[in-house]
Amino acid sequence: MDRPLTLGPTYFYKISARDLGLTEGPFSATVGALPFTIAPMEPLGVRIAATPADVTLSWSTTTRYGDGNLFLSTAAPLADELLGYSVWRSSDACAPTFVNVSSLPITQTSTVSLTGGLNWFYRVHSYNSIGLSTNAVTLSTLGERSYFLDDCVSRVVFDAASAEMLNAGSNSAGGDIRIDRRRVTEDVGENVFQSVKFTPMLNGVTPLTNYPMPKPVRVVLAFQTAGGQPVATQQTAPGVTVKNLGMFWFNGQEFKKMYGTVDPVAQTVTVESPNLGTYQIRALARADGTVFDVSNISGRALTPNGDGLNDSIIFTYDPGPRNETATGRIYDVLGSHVADMVPGRVPNTLTWDGRSNGRVVGGGAYVYRIQGGGKSYTGTVVVAR
């Protein structure tokens, strides 16, 4: 391997062979190679701190190309690796109106922007002789990080506290976390109207599996309509209306209903979830009020022994168009009240941890009752000890 090479000139090579006596044979035909480069990876570990007068932005040093490969230089990066950083600003979270407000050398990884108390959105890019990094995160002066897709609508949004957990030193992953996002276009069709995968990548290159956020993040997916009906692969789905759209999340084994809030004007479905991964907008039978679907219980058996497996049961319900809140209670088989369910980490969920007044209940069957929107749903679960 011949490296590093300077971008621009064509390099020519000939190859010859030697035997054990170091006698050299004839040269091969001459071949030419023109080195090329790509844009660097966007800065990771971005932080934003705002006051009424200014905003301070800081970030980690960029050491990789956009494809994840490390720069070749062992000292200062070459011009075709990294030239510096560029800070852009807009009054719109995702618009073509971002303008460059400062360009900084590779030695500077922070800057102060005078805002005059206005609410701005920022993007920080790395750049080299090829151009700007892509996939930059959008930061608000309130501390939110928005990772948009190309439609400028679909995105995952981290609030200030959750965003901090993406930075090295603030998480257990051991480095900065980049959120990779891509459409899963091959899944769209029939009753699937959007499919997007959000993947946390350690240092921008290593996928983190089963990496939940410390608190729910906001997932927003956009859908298209034609004649008022949702469209999948340019075809409308007969009998499906905007009202009957819902969000699904792939838990590693199957897609689970997340329901979500449908905005028919913005043409989006939104959920709050502590999980990244693959989300889809699908057709879903939804009523005018609160609905509980027994298929959306996380399990039918509890083993509340603290091992992290089946220590609690999660009940997910559809809050309906009025976003109603459901309540739940647990009873023993004789009808005596055992415990109240509590709201889960994810909106529109209720949980029970197999305890009553702080103590684990005895083994056996228990009855749950969920109420909301004037409706009541009952069923049974089993505690195994």
- The domain containing residue 176 runs over which residues? 144-286
> Quick one: 177 and 111 in the same domain?
no
Q: Pick from 270, 286, 302: which residue ends a domain?
A: 286
Give, for 101, the enclosing helix (H) or strand (E): strand 99-105
Contacts of residue 44, Cβ cutoff 8 Å, sequence gap at least 6: 59, 60, 62, 176, 177, 178, 203, 204
Count CA atoms within 13 Å of residue 96 on its CB side.
2
Calculate ∠ Cα 74-79-81, nearest 5°: 60
> Domain of 342: which CATH number?
2.60.40
Contact yes or no for 254/290 (Cβ under 8 A): no
> Quick one: 114 and 150 in the same domain?
no
249 found inside a domain: yes
139 found inside a domain: no
Q: Is 230 exposed, middle or buried (0-12, 13-18, 19+ CB in 10 A)?
A: buried
| CA separation for the pair 271, 252 (Å, rounded) | 18
Buried b (16+ CB within 10 A) or exposed e, 61-98: ebbbbbeeeebeeeeebbebbbbbbbbbbbeeebeeeb
> Quick one: 2 and 128 in the same domain?
yes
Tally of domains in the chain: 3
> Quick one: 256 and 344 in the same domain?
no
Which two structure tokens, joined as six digits, stand for 252? Answer: 């590693």
> Quick one: 104 and 28 in the same domain?
yes
Give, for 360, the enclosing helix (H) or strand (E): strand 359-360
β-strands 301-302, 375-383: how paired?
A: parallel
> Domain of 276: which CATH number?
2.60.220
| CA separation for the pair 18, 59 (Å, rounded) | 51
> Quick one: 118 and 152 in the same domain?
no
> Quick one: 275 and 158 in the same domain?
yes
Contact yes or no for 223/246 (Cβ under 8 A): no
> Quick one: 5 and 102 in the same domain?
yes
320 found inside a domain: yes
> Quick one: 205 and 237 in the same domain?
yes
**Can you tell me whether residue 197 is helix, strand or coil?**
strand
360 found inside a domain: yes
| CA separation for the pair 308, 305 (Å, rounded) | 8
> Domain of 42: which CATH number?
2.60.40.10
> Quick one: 153 and 240 in the same domain?
yes
Q: Pick from 242, 259, 286: which residue ends a domain?
A: 286
362 found inside a domain: yes
> Quick one: 274 and 319 in the same domain?
no
For each of the chain's 385 residues, which pLDDT tens digit applies?
Answer: 666 555 557 766 678 888 777 788 787 777 766 555 689 999 999 999 988 888 999 999 999 999 999 998 878 898 889 999 999 999 999 888 899 999 999 999 999 987 765 788 999 999 998 899 988 999 998 889 999 999 999 999 999 989 999 999 898 888 999 999 999 999 998 789 999 999 999 999 999 988 878 788 999 999 988 877 888 766 666 678 888 899 999 988 889 888 888 999 999 999 998 899 999 999 887 666 667 776 678 888 899 888 877 889 988 888 877 778 889 999 999 999 999 999 988 788 899 999 999 999 999 999 999 988 788 889 999 998 7
> Quick one: 216 and 273 in the same domain?
yes
**What is the number of other CB atoms lying within 10 angstroms of the CB of residue 256?**
16
Contact yes or no for 303/260 (Cβ under 8 A): no
322 found inside a domain: yes
pLDDT of residue 244: 85
Task: Tell the residue number behind the tokens 């996380």, with chain if given.
Answer: 298
Q: Pick from 108, 134, 160: which residue ends a domain?
A: 134
| CA separation for the pair 276, 182 (Å, rounded) | 12
277 found inside a domain: yes
pLDDT of residue 226: 82
